Amino acid sequence: MMKELSRGDRSDAMPSIRHSFPMGLLPSGASIRSGSLYVAGVEIKRVAEEIGTPFFIYDEDHIRTTIRDAKGAFSGDIAFASKAFLCKAMAQLALEEGILLDVASMGEMYVAHAGGFPGDRMILHGNNKSDQELAFALEIGVGRIVIDSFDEIDRLESLAKADEPVSVWLRVTPGVEAHTHEYVMTGQEDTKFGFSYSAGAAEEAIELLLSSKKIRLLGLHSHIGSQIFMLDSFKAQFDVMAELIKRYGFLELNLGGGLGVAYIDGEEAPAIADWVSMAESYAKNSGLPDNLRLVLEPGRAIIARSAITVYRVGTIKRLKGIRTYVSIDGGMSDNPRPVLYESGYEAILPERMNDVSDTIYTISGKHCESGDIVVSSALLPSDLAVGELLATPVTGAYGYSMASNYNKVGRPPVIFAKDGRYRVVVRRETLGDLLRLEE
């Protein structure tokens, strides 16, 4: 059984005292020695002393193992959705693990390409791809461009050469309402993405593309949203897509990403291997051709749990009878998800993992916004003090990739840890970096 708990304040189902933190919310290579947290054999306290805070630390083997779990249960292709987290080191890791990359902008294509990731293993998305993006995709030979609008068909027709037809998929809106936050729901009729199945736009676009000399339509794509816990939502999506695939005899079907992950104590999400096997068995049982190429594009399910963000506590403000604010040296600029989607997170003290947690705190960021709350109800030891390290688990997805320079706060560095060693794969932004665009 999987369940998703409230995103805001702690629900009644959550503990009010904790003797040990659930290891299932930490990277799989996390361990505790004498109360101190290690990720992939690297002591968090040591990294903080050596490079300062805040920082993102990723367990490299956790990412590799998750990808292997998915690949092991699936005969199709796994494409990592790079919007969840991308830097050159991640592109290299994806290449080493033999998966594809989903990119959704010029910047994502450029960084992946700079990381040595071949264009023909990329899938390009976007509801408003520019001429520049499409031209770059053609230049580096992007494997599949996912067509999202009639305007894009016109644009691609004028950019592509007749002797080098471009391979594309069509993004279909299957009319499925996934059970998730409305801002990350994309499969319903009212959406900026794709071509509607029920309104006939998908059929019209397919017919148009099938008559093109410069564009080769090889299959279909759909993505119904993110942070989905109910596997039934994918079945409804699959049925619509299978009908179109059969009708037109396509041999490629990309079902997008969207598998949810647990962020807080008590939440349970399906395993990635179960999700990919589910897609595979839908295809087998629905009479689709045996040589159909299935593709899945998980982002969060591969990367979210592999990282934690480590901060230092700078101020504690006790408002009698109201709440206690614990302010850290980061906030909505390194993790905008709580502000955007009211997402829930937990907090831990990496130097005191064995201490009993029995007091609720509000973990606030350092930005000039009352709403800059990173964890609305964190269960931590009662004697939490200024100067301690505090970390938020499950921040590997949509944290660094959505980070900003709000209040001219520099973005934290990204660390990859493996076998007791760590390397900085993206350095900390400096004050100089904040001025580098100024004329």
Ligand X SMILES: Cc1ncc(COP(=O)(O)O)c(C=O)c1O
In the complex, which residues of this chain contact ligand X (CB under 6 A)? 81, 83-84, 102, 125, 223, 226, 256-259, 297-301
Name the minimum Å distance from CB 11 to ligand X: 23
For the question of residue 87 being annotated catalytic, the response is: no
Q: Is the dihedral of CA 210, 212, 213, 214 positive or negative?
A: negative
Q: Which is nearer to ligand X, 81 or 384 (CB)?
A: 81
Name the minimum Å distance from CB 105 to ligand X: 12
Residue 381: count of CB within 10 angstroms of its CB: 16
Rounded CA-CA distance 170/195 in Å is 8
Rounded CA-CA distance 20/152 in Å is 53
Chain centroid offset of residue 340 CA: 14
Peptide bond into 54 cis (omega under 30): yes
Q: Which is nearer to ligand X, 36 or 149 (CB)?
A: 149
Residues 6 or more apart whose Cβ sits within 8 Å of residue 249? none
Query: E strands, 15-143, where?
Result: 30-33, 36-39, 42-43, 55-59, 77-81, 100-103, 122-124
Strand partners, 103: 124
Q: Which is nearer to ligand X, 107 or 420 (CB)?
A: 107
Alpha helix ranges (H) inside 260-386: 272-285, 300-303, 337-341
- Considering the candidates 162, 319, 368, 431, report the single residue annotated as catalytic: 368
Name the minimum Å distance from CB 222 to ligand X: 9
Rounded CA-CA distance 18/22 in Å is 9
Q: Which is nearer to ligand X, 44 or 205 (CB)?
A: 205
Q: What angle do CA 312, 316, 322 make, to 5 degrees?
A: 135
Name the minimum Å distance from CB 220 to ligand X: 13
Q: Which is nearer to ligand X, 185 or 380 (CB)?
A: 185
Rounded CA-CA distance 428/417 in Å is 16
Name the minimum Å distance from CB 297 to ligand X: 4
CB 128 within 8 A of CB 99: no
Q: Which is nearer to ligand X, 196 or 377 (CB)?
A: 196
Name the minimum Å distance from CB 256 to ligand X: 4
Q: Which residues are catalytic?
A: 368
